């Protein structure tokens, strides 16, 4: 097996358990095929085997093993990940089964939606071994009706992987009717964003139930209606759902109908355009939810992203009644916890109001944070009481 050597001065992070070796950390970048197995070395010390990609900034994705049997590795790691989810979410039939680096399967994401599996392959190593992956999944989950590989991630472009969705096994239902934390939902596995449904906010969404009785709620970037549906389940007087995607709003409407709710309003458009209009029209809400997509895709855009988050929270605060709650999130890894907290409280201070942080959290437990990779902690969720 080909060996690749790490430069002096780049060892501590790897020794501490980080799973990525960047191209500028290697003494040489050998011209091997993308997805090949290599052994990563520093002098005479071995970090074990890794999937290699000469065309990516992440040249090596460490596997934390010296066993070349990838089928056995996948079987053990996915089985272990599944057992953890059963302990964390024992009553759920939908969850993130594999969260890449956090399950020591760098570049592999798998969501389980009842008897369907939706995967994102972000590593050339697993792309070359898709057949092995499917075989392992069918052995572990023999009742699987369909396995869908989705490619809607820019990380595949960085890895040099083709941009296409494909059914790897069985058939994918046009619509899956299931339950998320007691709420009936319809999921479009093929047409939905990411893997079809956002699971990382599921526990955070339930917090809204506790504070929404008889309240008016604005759910910005509502997608399929997760936060607003939880507000209605908590007894909200009315929820306004806002999203720029017509298809997302149609899905939210379907979910509202499934749960027999009729005290809602749907608004289609960009939040940065619609929120000022709501302010100018004198609208106010007891609770404002801000759950935008990631504004910062990399370090270079973090300053612009911070400005965007500041503006969005400024608008949200203006729409908030006295004695109201602001539920605000960021899923940008490059905006850290302290930065995000500071920019929100700065906007509160500028508004002349006061705020108390009453709750904070991060992504749901089926998206665990790997101790040696801060990259796996990305979601910030803050709840402020503002008066």
Q: Which residues are catalytic?
A: 331
Burial class (CB in 10 A: 0-12, 13-18, 19+), 250: middle
Q: In 3D, which of 125, 127, 124 has the Cα closest to residue 149?
A: 127
The Cα–Cα gap between 169 and 132 comes to: 12
Residue 169, Cβ density class (10 Å: 0-12 exposed, 13-18 middle, ≥19 buried): middle
Of 204, 200, 244, 198, the C-alpha closest to 224 is 198
* Residue 266 Cα to chain centre, angstroms: 24
Half-sphere exposure of residue 160: CA atoms within 13 angstroms, side-chain side? 14
Closest CA to 239 of 230, 254, 249, 228: 228
Please state, in angstroms and rounded to a whole number, the distance separating the CA atoms of residues 228 and 207: 11
């Amino acid at each position: 097996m080909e060996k690749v050597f790490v430069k002096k001065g780049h060892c501590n992070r790897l020794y501490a358990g980080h799973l990525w070796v960047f191209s500028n950390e290697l003494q040489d970048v050998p011209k091997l095929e993308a997805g090949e197995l290599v052994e990563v070395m520093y002098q005479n010390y071995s970090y074990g085997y890794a999937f290699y990609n000469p065309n990516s900034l992440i040249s090596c994705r460490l596997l934390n093993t010296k066993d070349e049997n990838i089928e056995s590795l996948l079987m053990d790691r996915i089985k272990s990940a599944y057992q953890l989810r059963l302990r964390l979410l024992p009553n759920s039939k939908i969850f993130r089964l594999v969260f890449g680096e956090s399950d020591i399967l760098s570049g592999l994401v798998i969501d389980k939606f009842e008897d369907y599996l939706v995967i994102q392959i972000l590593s050339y190593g697993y792309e070359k071994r898709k057949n092995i992956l499917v075989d392992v999944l069918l052995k572990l989950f023999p009742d699987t009706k369909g396995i869908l590989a989705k490619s809607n991630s820019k990380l595949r472009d960085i890895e040099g992987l083709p941009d296409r969705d494909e059914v790897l096994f069985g058939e994918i239902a046009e619509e899956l009717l299931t339950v998320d934390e007691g709420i009936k939902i319809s999921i479009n596995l093929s047409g939905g964003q990411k893997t079809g449904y956002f699971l990382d906010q599921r526990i955070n969404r339930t917090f809204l139930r506790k504070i929404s009785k008889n309240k008016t709620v604005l759910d910005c970037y509502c997608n399929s209606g997760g936060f607003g549906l939880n507000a209605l389940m908590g007894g909200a007087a009315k929820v306004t759902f806002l999203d720029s995607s017509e298809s997302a709003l149609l899905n939210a409407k379907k979910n509202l109908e499934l749960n027999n709710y009729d005290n809602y309003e749907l608004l289609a458009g960009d939040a940065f355009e619609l929120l000022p209009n709501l302010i100018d029209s004198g609208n106010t809400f007891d609770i404002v939810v801000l759950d935008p997509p990631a504004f910062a895709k990399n370090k270079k855009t973090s300053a612009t992203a911070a400005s965007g988050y500041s503006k969005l929270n400024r608008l949200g605060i203006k729409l908030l009644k006295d004695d109201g709650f602001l539920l605000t999130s960021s899923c940008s890894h490059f905006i850290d916890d302290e930065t995000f907290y500071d920019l929100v409280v700065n906007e509160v201070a500028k508004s002349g109001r006061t705020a108390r942080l009453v709750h904070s959290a991060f992504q749901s437990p089926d998206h665990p944070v790997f101790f040696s990779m801060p990259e796996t902690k990305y979601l910030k969720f803050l709840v402020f009481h503002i008066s």
